Amino acid sequence: MKTALAGWTAALLLAAATPVCAQIGLPQTPGLPALPSGVTDRLPAVGRADALGRETLDRALQAPSRLTGLVRRSGGALEADPNGWPVAAAEIVAVDLSEAARAEALRAGFTVVREDRLEALDLAAVVLAPPRRLSLARAVERLKALDPAAEVTFNHIHSPAGIETAAPGSAGPAPPGPQGLGARLGLIDTGVEATHPALTGSAIIQRGFAGPPRLGAHGTAVASLMVGRSGAFSGADPGGSLLVADIYGGQSTGGSSTGLASALAWMVEQRVRVVNISLVGPRNPLVERAVARAQSRGVVIVAAAGNDGPAASALYPAAYDGVVGVSAVNSRNQILPESGRGPQVDFAAPGADMAAAGQAGSWTSVRGSSFAAPLVAGLLARRGGGPASVEALARSATDRGARGRDPVYGQGLVGADLRVAPAAVGARGRLSR
């Protein structure tokens, strides 16, 4: 079972370890600095593990100021939970809060911000703001005391402090695309550039869950690896239809737990068979329950294992039970040094030394488990989705590492033939994740 708890210390290492960036950068977060020019996405050779470890540790010591800065630059839109994870400021999420506890909370000064009723998941949550002069952490504890049976948590932001290195994380509005699409694949990420040559052959619907959908470099690259097709380039399910849920919308509070849960409900409503989530965050009761409800309705959820390194705690949603977690390999089919490992890994797939769609019709080189997961999602969709597709993919996997299932390659390597070298499409930029 995937029961390991996420730790922010691992994310610190990820955010600080040059030259690898986080799983996904917060798109266009106000005040987010750009990386200096000339940043490369290449790591030292595996043989230099000692030097790499020292460098990562040294830089991790500098990370707290960066993470504090991320919250500070949000203009008050973000806070940090007791473990250091970014959360939406002044928002507490309660699932199954009793009417008696709710009434008592209102009398104590809590206010209702909104109510999210996710009919497709048979799930409802109320978002409350704490009383004045009561910290968010203390407010969460007070609500838990009012109703110990309820799930009370923070509205976590799903993404470490990453920065886009090849292009801005969010550009202009994304067109919604055609309606009434029967797609078997779904993507929860940023918006995508549906007019990119790799994606014009696919029917794409986009919907925003943090305001109108906006173009994003990360989502565009991931989408191309799922359904893209253009010349020498091909994704795992080329030409397939795709539903895109943008849970960022260029907002500082984008990537929230409530947004992710709402996006999953939409995927269920649209009867999507396989959903890819190349995002990471801590364990969150609302998201965990939404994932379980979506799975019970036949949706296969694929998620990136993260890029925090072999010693890191498991990240979510990849570590939730039943989610297909994916680690990443390089062009020699060796696991990336930074790729997440553990019982949450079900498959390994190419995640480096390969091309993907960039912004404004360009091509870029990508690195990280963010880009391995969509290949697995596309392969599962081609097999029809559902548990049977996962079993079929496992039978086709190439065993690597320790014999049988292992925490590095999971059930084995898949999609090795799907890697398209950057030179094949004339990629000029690099998108490091």
CB count within 10 Å of CB 29 equals 25
C-alpha span between 260 and 93 (Å, rounded): 13
Asked if 67 and 59 touch (Cβ cutoff 8 Å), the reply is no
φ, ψ dihedrals at 245, nearest 5° = -105, 110
pLDDT in tens, the chain (433 residues): 454 333 333 333 333 332 223 343 333 333 222 222 222 222 222 333 333 333 333 333 333 444 456 677 888 999 999 988 899 999 999 999 999 999 999 999 999 999 999 999 999 999 999 999 999 999 999 999 999 999 999 999 997 322 333 333 445 565 554 444 567 999 999 999 999 999 999 999 999 999 999 999 999 999 999 999 999 999 999 999 999 999 999 888 899 999 999 999 999 999 999 999 999 999 999 999 999 999 999 999 999 999 888 888 889 999 999 999 999 999 999 999 999 999 999 999 999 999 999 989 999 999 999 999 999 999 999 999 999 999 999 999 999 988 999 999 999 999 999 999 998 987 444 554 5
Bridge partners, 175 (sequence order) = none
Q: Which domains does the chain have, with CATH numbers?
A: 1-81+158-433 (3.40.50.200), 82-156 (3.30.70)
What is the predicted pLDDT for the residue at 147?
97
Both tokens assigned to 264: 């999953």
Report the greatest alpha carbon distance in the chain.
64
pTM: 0.83
What is the predicted pLDDT for the residue at 29?
34
Q: Specify the amino acid at residue 407.
A: P
C-alpha span between 337 and 44 (Å, rounded): 9
Asked if 101 and 147 touch (Cβ cutoff 8 Å), the reply is yes
Both tokens assigned to 414: 């898949």
Both tokens assigned to 55: 């460098």
Asked if 32 and 374 touch (Cβ cutoff 8 Å), the reply is no
* Alpha helices per DSSP H over 93-209: 99-107, 136-146
Strands 345-350 and 324-329: parallel
Q: Which residues contact 421 (CB under 8 A, 6 or more apart)?
A: 331, 353, 354, 355
Distances in Å between the Cα of 262 and the Cα atoms of 9, 124, 193, 318 are 28, 10, 22, 18
CA dihedral 193, 197, 200, 204 (to 10 degrees): -30
What is the predicted pLDDT for the residue at 173?
66
